[in-house]
Structure 1
Amino acid sequence: MKFGKEFKKQKVPEWTEAYMDYNGLKRILREILQCKQSRQPSTPLRSLHHRLTMHRAFSGLELPQSTEFPSKGDIEDQVIDVSTSLEDGCRKFYKTEFLRKSEEGGDIEVMFFKKLDEELNKVNSFYKDKVEEMVHEASLLNRQMDVLIALRIRQQKHDFEGANAEASCSNDIAAANHPLRDINLGRGCLESTLREDTSNDSDPESTSNPDVNEVHTANCDSACKEEENDRERDPLKILEYVKLNNTLESPLSTIRGVFKDSTDEDLSFNKEELRKVEERLRVVFIEFYHKLRLLKHYSYMNLAAFSKIMKKYEKFTSRRASRSYMKIVDNSYLGSSDEVSGLLERVEATFIKHFSNSNRREGMKSLRPKAKREKHSVTFFSGFFSGCSILLLIAVVLRIQARKLMEKREGVSYVVNIFPLYSLFGYAVLHKLMYVTNIYFWRRYRVNYPFIFGFKQGTELGHREVFMLSNGLALLVLASCLANLHLDSGSNASKYKTVTEMVPLGLVAVVLVILFCPFDIIYRSSRFFFIRCLFRCICAPLYKVTLPDFFLADHLASQVQAIRSFELYICYYGLGEYSRRQSKCHNHGIYNAFYFTVAVIPYWIRFLQCLRRLCEEKDATHGYNGFKYLLTIVAVVMRTTCELKKGRTWIVLALISSAVAVIMNTYWDIVVDWGLLQKKSKNPFLRDKLVVSHKSVYFAAMVLNVLLRLAWMQLVLEFNLPSHHKIAASTVIACLEIIRRGIWSFFRLENEHLNNVGKFRAFKSVPLPFNYYDADADKDD
């Protein structure tokens, strides 16, 4: 694979703009090459001279000194001259002067080195900012680990009897379990070291100031003395200035946070608290290590890109400037800083010692989970299940046609009663197929969906795995449907009457058993992730709202018909309707009440989630979003009332409320969720940044969204259709809504990805377990 493609593939998606513009520099090099080729005369003498030159080159003969192929003496100094300047007090910026401007095409080479300097300064500044963030975060983790160690000491003191035993135990534990000092100790003050990089990558013309060095040394010595004093201090004293950070991530913590002014809690010093703190810090360390690895990979890939582009420059221009420029790159902060490598080593040592019981294999397995590999078995079973599903679908259609069920009264009753039971799984299969399509295009256009959804590294499902699961579910459903048809319409149908009616219920039981199976089979991590998100949606607003939560709630809002199918199962089997083979569920008042409630639940969940986010983030956008869902709830209630009670008045009210809801929802989808129709965009009626290169895709998506929203309104209209035709019409409209939601999902996540790219957000924000209050600061206050 060419380096350009590999470079693009290896980029952190959210940092794409911060990488060196390799393709842009290659375009300038192509202009240089075209310029050189256009001025070379194509004559037989020139061709003969070129062949002789090549013959000498490959025969090992030494070329004479010339202006075009000079020796490695002082020619590098004659091609370019790189100077440095300090800006913002401590940041170095590089500027290259091309010394052969007068030659033909020299202006293009001047442009090349100007662009190269811009990219080096950009990459250098970005890398330095990120390293400073990591060093600051490492100092915070130092304090967090100090508190954890103090908690462990206090907890273990209760296992000993007598004051002497307690004192000796405390000293032993403090000596053995004080590792976080190792992260920064020995490296001195990392923040001061960051500011000393000017002395590391200085050139002969830019020497460091000895007075400044003395100041840095004094600051570093004082910081190291403070660290040594901290080590001699009583490790338990820190607990007096620490409180637990209540992140309001559970229903109980949320309720407590409502009735308390502060979200901080006092330490209770019990084992359960210690276990929770250790688990949270473990997650923080894993995420911090992941950040460091990404940052180190960023440095490596950019250094390789600079080396490759300078080799191409030498190849295209026959000038030897790579050595001198790469020396500048290697001496820059990007090439010379070893802070990230040092932090990686110390984080590994700390994590293995304190979170893996000094088991290096287990510790590194947590810090560096294995990348997920594509399995041939997944491809095989995907094809096998899809083939079997198609055959079973044909068999079901042929069975219905052979028995001429639609021409018989019993057959129509069968379709009216049994088909809605199986439609639940049809909606689920269609939803999975839309998710398969989204995953495929997210990966194709490098939308970082695992990071956005917060999937654990190595457990995210690809489009092949989800396609296999959807086909497997379709196979189960169609096999069950065919068995139902066979038992119901056979010659001995009366014998198997009870068995026939229990087939759909048995299918539901099988699917639920697979979903909640506690064993590590059939992608347990993904199943449990879905269950957690579903539970958090049901418990809204008691849980902090994350993107997977409201994303799932939005998808539930498109599955109203599927949710109503669950209610139909309860009525059909709980009230004994299956024994009479005619649906009389709407004759029950309780069923009609739940018929209203079930349709409103998904939108009510989203409304509560918007309220929670409005209270936490103080952003009025969430308030407007919540108002939008209130309008949708009114429209759903009116539509359901119209469906049950009929009447012209209810039809008019349902139409008006649905129209208002459709207009509001369509505007929100296109403008807010997708970020399109921006007035001052360089792409008219779209947005500045687009993932898909074909702009027509976005316009087609907007038109489809409007049309499919209008299809949702068709449920309001009253058609004089037979019962089985009404069921078919509502099923088709429900499927169209699922397709609309699938299209919405792609562009919604694309917009979220671009927002992360704009803010360079490539890491999850993991809250720290402790809030630390400095004793000196408290005294000053």
Structure 2
Amino acid sequence: MRFGRTLDEGIIPEWRAQYLDYDQGKKIIKRLCKGADLPKPAEATPGSFYTDQSYAETNVSLRLPSPALNPRKPSLQFRRSSAVKLAGTSEATGTPSSESITDRSPLLDNDRIRTYGGEASVDGTPAVSQQLPLTTFTRNATDVFFNWLGGEVNKIEEFYREQEKEAVRRGDELKKQIDTLQKHRLLLKKKKQSAVPGPTLAWLDRLEFPSVPKCFSNKNDIDARNSHRDYGFRSEVNYTHAKYMLKRASYDYYQNLLKLKSYRALNETGIRKIVKKFDKTFQTSFLESYMSQTSRYNMHTSKQVDILTEDIIKLYAENFESGHHKYAVEKLQRGEIYDPHNRSVLLTGLLIGAGLPLFIRAIYAGVRDLHRGHEFAVRFYLQIWAGFFFIDLILLLLSLNLYAWQHFRINYMFIFELDRSIAMDYRQFPVLPASFFFTLSLLGWINFDVSAGKFGYYIPCLFLGLLVVAFAAPYPAFWSTRKWAMMALLRLVLSGLYPVEFRDFFVGDIFCSLNYSVSNMALFFCLYGKGSWWDNETEAETCGSSHSRVMGFLNCLPAIWRFLQCWRRFLDTYDWFPHLLNSSKYSATILYNLFLSYVRINEGNVTYRALFIVFAILNAVLSSLWDILMDFSLSIDLRPVLIYPRWAYYVAMFVDPLMRFHWVLYVVYWDQTQQSAKISFIVALIEVVRRFVWVFFRVENEHATNVGQSRAFKDLNLPYFYTDETPTPTQSPTLTQGSSATAIPSSRTQVVCKSDSASPRFTAVQRILRRAHTMDFERRQQVADTDQEDSDG
């Protein structure tokens, strides 16, 4: 789908499947030009050159008919010079021979079939030296091409109508919200005049409290409560904030209208270019007549989008710019001024550049002292700092994920339901892990390589304190992002008590790869809870993994959180698949970590070792299959919608299962207890890298599903909701859900699976597996499932 590089940049990623499939059109023309055997369109069968775009899909009610050769000039005929004979034709019949069609192109430089209106003679017939009937080859080629193009135009027309209706609905809703804003302003004036000073507990309503699963509560009550959710807080609407939200919603709405105009213009250009290419290849002249037919369609005749554009400009000017139409147009067009975030990029580079030498020096000093055996405390220091390091490493790798998603135009903000007005840009986010890395490197270098005396024993405590203050203190820098992260952590700790959103299970899976850091919390607090642990090696050893059962429990804790989330999803939906099956997978993970702890505590116990190996194999196999089939929705033939290069998916299908078997290192080095800390570090490092790969494809798979279902935009971020159809000024305006997805119905399957010849049962199972990942979470406002494939299976 490429109309040239310049035009391709204007394609909206989430609407990509709804654009004219220009690449498919070029393939059809190329195969037609090669003279392939062409069945009649009505007799098209699988295996022909248009297998990827089934002919049956184009046979719909609104399909444009194959255009007449020239409806304005019905006497149009082919003509040839009497001195030139058509290549590959029979002299007796003048029709192409089968050999000329299959073995060579009948469209050679000197033997091209040309169509044109022809100048009429006195009797009204074309003034040609010789008239020939339309050849079977050319007629079939024309029918096949224009039947395919008719289906594409029909797809574009239907999608445009749906988007236009949605734009009208959103425009009406925005007008209603702005009218409520004015009533809100008058209501505040009245309250201010009659307000009585006194204490208030309104701040309690800002917290979002845990909820009961839907199976234990009335569905209407749950939906009403969930409609208040916005980034984990709900509250009475502040007028200033509501005004800001509506200004932002007006800008978003205006930009969506511009994108709809761009969609219309790009498809018109694509249709014109593909017909022009056909004309150029076959030396025909269908362009003018075909474009005149498509000009009767709604996407060309309707002026609704233009009217809505003028309405939103007028509405914005009257309510936010004191009636200044010029200022309103400038602000709506300008919107967010592009900010390259040069300072953030520079600061990230400086922090990483300054911290890297210190980090290398600290590692060198720590390993040197460890091998010399100067201080037994060095081993514990390395474990503590390694726990901090893995947290920072996964954040640095997440920065690379964000960059890749931006490069491949994956709408991760839509997937995570982030508010673009307050979310960090992908160039800003690395500042946080870069600052974390520099501080860690600096204090680690002081701890290992600088003679700090007894003060050095408290440096890890200092680093932890700085980390907590930097993350949780309510200072302005990145406050919205940090608040979002804090609420995500709270919901994770209370897993099972909150509905599972995308961020909830995503953060839970991230922590499943950070169990090294989580379990090290027990080591850290145990050591520093004993006071002068650095003077008593025997006492310090009791805090290690070979003695601490708390450390083993914390190693299982992330998997327990995910287990509870799976059960919450089951209780909210009553769908045993995939939630109960997924909970079984995390049960295997819990048992794997549990018996790993037993093996460490009971060294030499053969029974625990055997059970560990059994559950390690079970966990690795189940997790690998789940990653490939569910989270990535991949198989041998991949899947219909791919965002990354094809080779990347095959690499992921090999690398992810391979890294799942990192537990083999524990088995190999069981009898070398002195290597246990190093092996644990290596295994944890492999798991973090594997999670880095998993994040790439899990979010990409979600985006591919959104593309396939044409979930293009979030609903407008509006401040008010209505308890009935006619709200009054006395009603207390409250926050609605901040962002939700809208599923746009589509009458056609966007992409046809390549395994058309597979059995129906296999295809149905394949569809179920590819759709399973969409059930891992719920959106803040439920989305109607419009995928027609599921109903067929």
TM-score class, shorter-chain normalisation, is 0.5 to 0.7
Q: Which residue of 1 aligns with 2:20?
A: 20
Q: Which residue of 2 aligns with 1:125?
A: 158
Q: CA deviation at 1:666?
A: 1.8
Give the secondary structure class of the aligned counterpart of 2:68.
Answer: strand
Q: CA deviation at 1:760?
A: 1.0
TM value normalised by structure 1: 0.67
Q: Which residue of 2 aligns with 1:485?
A: 448
1:702 aligns with 2:665: no
Q: Which residue of 2 aligns with 1:250?
A: 208
Q: CA deviation at 1:433?
A: 3.9
1:408 aligns with 2:372: yes
Contact 2:659/2:687 (<8 A) preserved: yes
Q: Which residue of 1 aligns with 2:556?
A: 600
Work out the CA distance in 1 between the residues paired with 2:560 and 2:634.
27
1:567 aligns with 2:533: no
Percent of residue pairs identical: 23
Work out the CA distance in 1 between the residues paired with 2:218 and 2:522.
40
Give the secondary structure class of the aligned counterpart of 1:455.
Answer: coil
Q: CA deviation at 1:595?
A: 1.9
1:668 aligns with 2:639: no
Which residue of 432, 436, 442 maps to 1:473?
A: 436
Q: CA deviation at 1:748?
A: 1.4
Q: Which residue of 1 aligns with 2:471?
A: 515
The verdict on how the C-alpha distance between 1:14 and 1:320 changes in structure 2, with shifts beyond 3 A counting, is same
Alignment of 1:367-382 (within 5 A): 369-370=335-336, 372-382=338-348
Give the secondary structure class of the aligned counterpart of 2:220.
Answer: coil
Cα-to-partner distance string for 1:632-672 (whole Å, 9 max, x where unaligned): 22332232233223322322232323332222222211111
Contact 2:317/2:323 (<8 A) preserved: yes
Contact 2:213/2:572 (<8 A) preserved: no
TM value normalised by structure 2: 0.66
Alignment of 1:289-328 (within 5 A): 291-309=256-274, 322-328=287-293
The verdict on how the C-alpha distance between 1:399 and 1:774 changes in structure 2, with shifts beyond 3 A counting, is closer
Contact 1:557/1:603 (<8 A) preserved: yes
Q: CA deviation at 1:598?
A: 1.9
Work out the CA distance in 2 between the residues paired with 1:380 and 1:261.
50
Contact 1:250/1:542 (<8 A) preserved: no
Give the secondary structure class of the aligned counterpart of 2:711.
Answer: coil
One-letter amino acid matched to 2:651? A
Alignment of 1:713-732 (within 5 A): 714-715=665-666, 719-723=670-674, 725-732=675-682
Which residue of 579, 600, 607 maps to 1:622?
A: 579
Give the secondary structure class of the aligned counterpart of 1:96.
Answer: coil
Contact 2:592/2:619 (<8 A) preserved: yes
Q: Which residue of 1 aligns with 2:610?
A: 652
Q: Which residue of 1 aligns with 2:69?
A: 98
1:764 aligns with 2:714: yes
Q: CA deviation at 1:603?
A: 1.7
Alignment of 1:135-534 (within 5 A): 135-138=168-171, 250-251=208-209, 260=218, 262-263=220-221, 273=236, 275=238, 282=246, 291-309=256-274, 322-347=287-312, 369-370=335-336, 372-396=338-362, 399=365, 404-411=368-375, 413-457=376-420, 465-466=428-429, 469-488=432-451, 496-521=452-477, 523-534=478-489
Give the secondary structure class of the aligned counterpart of 2:9.
Answer: helix
Contact 2:356/2:441 (<8 A) preserved: no
Unaligned runs of 5+ residues in structure 1 are: 36-84, 162-247, 489-495, 678-683, 776-781
Give the secondary structure class of the aligned counterpart of 2:555.
Answer: helix
Alignment of 1:634-645 (within 5 A): 634-645=591-602
Q: CA deviation at 1:561?
A: 0.6
Give the secondary structure class of the aligned counterpart of 1:98.
Answer: coil
Contact 1:577/1:584 (<8 A) preserved: no
Work out the CA distance in 1 between the residues paired with 2:309 and 2:537.
68
Give the secondary structure class of the aligned counterpart of 2:661.
Answer: helix
Q: CA deviation at 1:470?
A: 4.1
Cα-to-partner distance string for 1:609-631 (whole Å, 9 max, x where unaligned): 22332233343222322232233
Q: Which residue of 2 aligns with 1:7?
A: 7
Work out the CA distance in 1 between the residues paired with 2:527 and 2:329.
53
1:134 aligns with 2:167: yes
The verdict on how the C-alpha distance between 1:287 and 1:704 changes in structure 2, with shifts beyond 3 A counting, is same
Give the secondary structure class of the aligned counterpart of 2:689.
Answer: helix
Give the secondary structure class of the aligned counterpart of 1:262.
Answer: helix
Work out the CA distance in 2 between the residues paired with 1:698 and 1:769.
43
One-letter amino acid matched to 1:120? V
Work out the CA distance in 1 between the residues paired with 2:698 and 2:181.
40
1:740 aligns with 2:690: yes
Give the secondary structure class of the aligned counterpart of 2:615.
Answer: helix
Work out the CA distance in 2 between the residues paired with 1:364 and 1:147.
25
Q: How many residues of Structure 1 are paired with residues of Structure 2 in the alignment?
A: 617
Work out the CA distance in 2 between the residues paired with 1:383 and 1:637.
41
Work out the CA distance in 1 between the residues paired with 2:329 and 2:454.
55
Moved more, 253-262 or 534-543: 253-262
Work out the CA distance in 2 between the residues paired with 1:550 and 1:148.
36
Contact 2:519/2:554 (<8 A) preserved: yes
Contact 2:511/2:558 (<8 A) preserved: yes
Give the secondary structure class of the aligned counterpart of 1:770.
Answer: coil
Contact 2:416/2:503 (<8 A) preserved: yes
Contact 2:254/2:332 (<8 A) preserved: no
Work out the CA distance in 2 between the residues paired with 1:156 and 1:462.
38
The verdict on how the C-alpha distance between 1:86 and 1:729 changes in structure 2, with shifts beyond 3 A counting, is closer
Q: CA deviation at 1:424?
A: 2.1
Work out the CA distance in 2 between the residues paired with 1:735 and 1:11.
39
Work out the CA distance in 2 between the residues paired with 1:144 and 1:257.
34
One-letter amino acid matched to 1:636? N
More helix, by proportion: 1
Contact 1:11/1:298 (<8 A) preserved: yes
Work out the CA distance in 1 between the residues paired with 2:188 and 2:476.
34
Q: CA deviation at 1:525?
A: 4.2
Cα-to-partner distance string for 1:218-246 (whole Å, 9 max, x where unaligned): xxxxxxxxxxxxxxxxxxxxxxxxxxxxx
The verdict on how the C-alpha distance between 1:349 and 1:258 changes in structure 2, with shifts beyond 3 A counting, is farther
Q: Which residue of 2 aligns with 1:631?
A: 588
Work out the CA distance in 2 between the residues paired with 1:397 and 1:159.
62
Q: CA deviation at 1:737?
A: 0.6
Q: CA deviation at 1:602?
A: 1.6
Work out the CA distance in 2 between the residues paired with 1:148 and 1:577.
62
One-letter amino acid matched to 2:336? K
Q: CA deviation at 1:711?
A: 0.9
Q: CA deviation at 1:738?
A: 0.7
Q: CA deviation at 1:109?
A: 5.6
The verdict on how the C-alpha distance between 1:369 and 1:608 changes in structure 2, with shifts beyond 3 A counting, is farther
Work out the CA distance in 1 between the residues paired with 2:181 and 2:210.
23
The verdict on how the C-alpha distance between 1:353 and 1:607 changes in structure 2, with shifts beyond 3 A counting, is farther
Contact 1:563/1:598 (<8 A) preserved: yes
The verdict on how the C-alpha distance between 1:306 and 1:86 changes in structure 2, with shifts beyond 3 A counting, is closer
Q: CA deviation at 1:113?
A: 4.1
One-letter amino acid matched to 1:296? K
Work out the CA distance in 2 between the residues paired with 1:355 and 1:715.
65
Cα-to-partner distance string for 1:417-457 (whole Å, 9 max, x where unaligned): 21112112321233134324433443444433232223333
Cα-Cα RMSD: 4.5
Work out the CA distance in 2 between the residues paired with 1:151 and 1:394.
59
Q: CA deviation at 1:482?
A: 1.8
Work out the CA distance in 2 between the residues paired with 1:690 and 1:662.
26
Q: Which residue of 2 aligns with 1:754?
A: 704
Give the secondary structure class of the aligned counterpart of 2:467.
Answer: helix
Work out the CA distance in 2 between the residues paired with 1:517 and 1:634.
37
Q: CA deviation at 1:469?
A: 4.8
Q: Which residue of 1 aligns with 2:495?
A: 540
Contact 1:96/1:113 (<8 A) preserved: yes
Cα-to-partner distance string for 1:23-77 (whole Å, 9 max, x where unaligned): 3344566679999xxxxxxxxxxxxxxxxxxxxxxxxxxxxxxxxxxxxxxxxxx
